[in-house]
Amino acid sequence: MNSIAVLNLGTGNLRSVQKALEHVAGSERVIVSSDHQAILAADRVVFPGVGAIRDCIAELQKTGLDDVVREVVASRPLLGVCLGMQALFDMSEENGGTACLGILPGKVVHFPKGMLGKGGGGTLKIPHMGWNRVKPSREHAMWTDIPTGSRFYFVHSYYAVPSSYDDVAATTEYGHEFASVVSHGNLFAVQFHPEKSQHAGLQLLANFVVWNGES
């Protein structure tokens, strides 16, 4: 039986991620685990995250799961979600500057204060919270049956700035355009929460269940 492992760093509501995956996984088994062997035995891995990047990276390094994530990316599909996306880059401005996993070249920065809505509307709030449109910037198997401009649910104050635009799979507008989805080889990572994004989010997870990476 094929399986999907959800990386357990001891934080966040992993149960909601697990339930959403189980809803679309068919015969695939979904586990939540921090066990190296169980994660590396899975066919696909989800790297979710909430909270502070410093705590996330510290836990990854303490448990050795940082090397597990690197091994997964080199060998099978990995889906990064929210903080799990940000942790993949070289560094984040959060917590006074935090070195991250360095799997993707680039950095994570804070939304600038005083951003205005479209047409000179009122000052935008930080964090960016709620539904917003995601516009794919290139074709990818993970976009199957998801209409262009579908809305997904965001909660974040920091966003990724990839060094290479080739790694950007979709953008979103909030004060300015930012990379809301990145992909490279076996890696596909999203700033939004697919498990909270209703039909479009479930479709994205369903696509991940059958995605073989490298596309």
List active site positions: 82, 193, 195
CA-CA distance, 90 to 153, in Å (whole number)? 25
The per-residue DSSP string of 179-204 comes to EEEEEETTEEEESS-GGGSHHHHHHH
146's tokens: 């998801």
Q: Which residue has the tokens 């959060």?
A: 94
Q: Which residue has the tokens 């880059």?
A: 89
Cα distances (angstroms) measured from residue 148 to each of 48, 120, 162: 24, 25, 22
φ/ψ (deg, to 5) at 157: -110, -15
The type of residue at 113 is K
Decide if 179 contacts 162 (C-beta within 8 A): yes
Determine if the peptide bond prior to 77 is cis (ω within 30°).
Answer: no
